Structures are given as C-alpha cells and as structure tokens.
Amino acid sequence: MEILEELARLFPVWDKLSVAERESLAAAVHTRRFSKGENIHGTGESCLGFLILKSGRLRAYLLSDSGREVTLYYLNAGEMCLFSASCMMRNIQFDIYIDAKEDTDVLQIPAPAFKNLMEKSLPVSRYVNDLMATHLTDVMWLMEQILFKRLDERLAALLLEDAKGSPENAVTATHEELAERLGSAREAVTRMLKYFQTEKLVKLSRGEIRITDPAALSAVIAEPRT
C-alpha cells in the first residue's frame, strides 16, 4: 500500500508503535488535499485531527475581532499539524486559524483515532509533548519579540533571515505578509522599509525586497536606528 509506506516514512514515531497500533492507525489514515488559500481550521467546527504534510505549506495565525491577523508559524512538507487536532484536547482553549498557503497534500489521522493513540501509546504522548513544547517556544519567542524589540530591529532580522539562501539576497513577500509575521501593521512596515531604502540598506519593488547592504542591516539589529 502506497499510503502505509508514506505513513511509515513521515510519521516520526511509527517505528515505536505496536503491530496493533499500526493496524488501527493504518485503518484510519487517509490522504487529503487542500487548495491554496483554503481555510482548514478555525472558522468551522470541523475537527480534522492530526495532519502530516506531504507537500505544500500551511500558515497558523491569530485573528482579532477587527480582522487583524498575526502569523504564529508556518508548517512545511514533512512537518506535523497538531492544532488541527486541538478540538480533542480540553486544555487547549484558544482560537487558532490555519490556512493553506500553497496547494497542500496531507496524511490525515482523524481525531478519534489520534486521540486513542495519544492516550494509549507512550511514544505518541511523548511526541505530542515535544510538538507542544516546540510550539510554546515559538509563541514565547514571538511574544518576546513583540513586547521587547523595536520594529526596525525585528524587521531587519526578519529580512536577513528570509534572504538567507536567496541568490539575489532578496525576500519575496508583500509588506502585509511581513507585518503579519511581525505582529505589526502594514503601514508601519511600509514606512520602515522606506526608511531602510533611504538609508540604502534595501531596494524595494512590488512583492520583493532586495538587501543591498547586509552589514548595515545587521547593524540595525545590534544598534537600533537613532
């Protein structure tokens, strides 16, 4: 079976499961595809369960009453989506939204099957623990950034981080995407980028920011703009 092979390859604790557990898991798992832009968690009451990304990209974010969005993290191929299964954990009581940033193929383990596994299998419980700790770390990091760092520092750090591995030293993103990842406002990012441009740190064009002076941009992080 194709799907079992994928499960064995992608589910990190597969090799720690008993034969019976593997069988019940195999019986429950199935594949699913989400289209780019589709909301997969948050608005409806549907409880997808645990997702394993075969390909594509998901975005998890907070949404305010007034419609402001703050990105918490992205999930890429090979990663696990835990909070699509949050409905089965009574201690998780916040509203998180998850969209597909690209067309995304997943292995889906429905909530009942995953819940059962989580309650019966120590390796799975420990793995969920690891995931939870990782997400908590992500959120705490973002919180520290928002509370304690200035926008110029954070934006500079984000640009440098994102430009890594890009041949042109460029970041492909709209100001709005950057603002959401920074927990800031689009206009504030636009203005800060303009300022960076006047200082010859970056070159702006629609949908792209090219870093022209990485060293000076790094200096912004250490020594915020005067």
Partner DNA sequence: CCGTTTTCAGTGACTTTGTCACCGGATTCC
Partner DNA sequence: GGAATCCGGTGACAAAGTCACTGAAAACGG
Binding positions for a copy of itself, rule: CB under 8 A: 62, 64-66, 68, 70, 89, 91-94, 96, 118-122, 125-126, 128-130, 132-137, 139-144, 146-148, 183
Alpha-carbon span 224 to 158, nearest angstrom: 14
State which of residues 16, 101, 150, 203 lies at the interface with DNA (CB under 7 A): 150
- Quick one: which segment of 48-56, 100-108, 122-130, 173-181 binds DNA (CB under 7 A)? 173-181
Among left, alpha and beta (phi > 0; psi -120 to 50; other), residue 9 is alpha
Report what 28 binds from a copy of itself, DNA, none; CB cut-off 5-8 Å by kind.
none
CA–CA dist 144, 27 (Å, integer): 43
Strand order in the sheet with 30-34: 30-34, 104-109, 50-55, 80-81
Q: Which is nearer to a copy of itself, 33 or 126 (CB)?
A: 126
- Name which of a copy of itself, DNA, none residue 94 binds, using a CB cut-off of 5 to 8 Å depending on partner kind: a copy of itself
CB of 210 to DNA, least distance (A): 12
**C-alpha to C-alpha distances, 152 to 2, 52, 70, 178, 197, nearest whole angstrom:** 49, 36, 18, 12, 13
Question: Least distance to a copy of itself from the beta carbon of 36, Å?
Answer: 26
Q: Is 116 in the site for DNA (CB under 7 A)?
A: no
Torsion of CA 52, 95, 70, 31, to 10 degrees: 20
Binding mask 195-224 for DNA (x = CB under 7 A): ---------x-xx-----------------
Which residue do the tokens 């798992």 mark?
Answer: 29
**What residues line the site for DNA (CB under 7 A)?**
66, 68, 150-152, 174-176, 183-188, 190-194, 204, 206-207, 225
